[in-house]
Homo-oligomer: A and B are copies of this chain.
C-alpha cells in the first residue's frame, strides 16, 4: 500500500525530456514557452495524470485560491441557498470554497478564522456569528480579505453586504395597512442581530408614523418552533393582531401553522402574515407566503466581484434592496 504516488512536475519533465521549469511554465498562463515544448509537456502530463499541486503553488505565490465560508446551522434554507450561490460563483471565478461549521460554540468563529489563516485562505466570508475585533484585525493584517453578510457591525477593511432591512419593514407595514389591517404585531427571535433588529425598528417606526401601535414579541431563535410559540403568545392577546410581520420565513411558517391548526384562523382573511428571506417553502401552497426575497445571487456576485478586485477599494459596503414577493398571505396585492 504505497502512499505518496502523486506525480510531480519533475516526473513530467523527465518524460517530456525538458527541464522542470518548462513544465511549470506551460501551466502558468502568460509564461514564455514554445509551441513545441508546450505540446510535449501537455502530452506527458496527460499520460501521467499530472495536476499542478495547488498547495505548493499557493505556498510560492502566497495565495491559495481558497475562500472560507464561515457559517452555523447551514441546513437552514436561507443559509443553504446562499452557500449554493456562493460556491457556484466562487468556482466560476476559479476559487474554491472551504466550509467551516461553527455550530459548536461561540468562540468557534474565531477558531474558524484561525483555520482560515492556517490554510492561507485569500478571504473569508462570514455568514453567521461575529468574530472578535482582535481576530479580524489579524486576518486583515495577514492580507486576508473579509466579507460580512448581514452582520452590519462596522469593521473597516472588510466588505459588508447588507439589505435595506428598515425600508423593507416599512414597505411591509404599508402593504399590511393597505390590506385593511389595524392591529399590527412583529414576531421576532431573541437573536438580536443587527439585521433582525433593523427589521423590528423599521416596522415600529412605520407604526409610529401612522399613529398605530405595534405589538412586539420576541422568543427563542429564528426557527419554525419559535414561530409556533410566538403565535401562541400573540394570538391569545385580548386585542388579537390581524397583521403579523415575521422576522424571517421559517418563523412565519411556524406561526402560520399554529394560527391555522391551533387557532383555526383563516389566512389572509382573519390574519395577514409577511415573512422575510423568500425561502423555497414560502412558495409552497400550504404557506403561499408574501415575503421579501433575499437577493442571494446578487449577494454572492457582489462578494465574489469584490474578491476579484486587485485593490480592496474603499466603497466597502453594499446595501441591497429586498424585493417584495406578493403571494396569498396578505389580502389584496
What number of copies of this chain does the assembly contain?
2
Q: Do A53 and B120 touch across chains, with their CB atoms under 8 A apart?
A: yes
A103 and B120 contact, Cβ closer than 8 Å, known pairs A3-B143, A49-B141, A75-B83: no
Interface range, A side = 35 or more
Query: Is A263 in the interface zone, CB < 8 Å from B?
Result: no
| A83–B79 CA distance with the chains assembled, in angstroms | 12
Chain B residue at minimum C-beta to C-beta distance from A140: B5
Q: Do A253 and B120 touch across chains, with their CB atoms under 8 A apart?
A: no
- Mark the stretch among A170-178, A193-201, A239-247, A278-286 that contacts chain B: A278-286
A118 and B52 contact, Cβ closer than 8 Å, known pairs A98-B97, A142-B5: yes
| A84–B312 CA distance with the chains assembled, in angstroms | 32
The residues of B that contact A287 with a CB separation of less than 8 Å are: 286
Q: A49-B142, A79-B80 are in contact. List 14 more A-B contacts (CB 8 A).
A: A1-B311, A2-B143, A55-B120, A74-B87, A75-B84, A76-B80, A87-B100, A88-B103, A91-B100, A224-B280, A254-B284, A257-B285, A261-B285, A286-B286
Q: Which residues of A contact B (CB under 8 A)?
A: 1-6, 49, 51-56, 58-59, 62, 64, 66, 69, 73-77, 79-81, 83-84, 87-88, 91, 96-101, 103-104, 114-115, 117-120, 138, 141-143, 224, 228, 253-254, 257-258, 260-261, 280-281, 284-287, 311-312
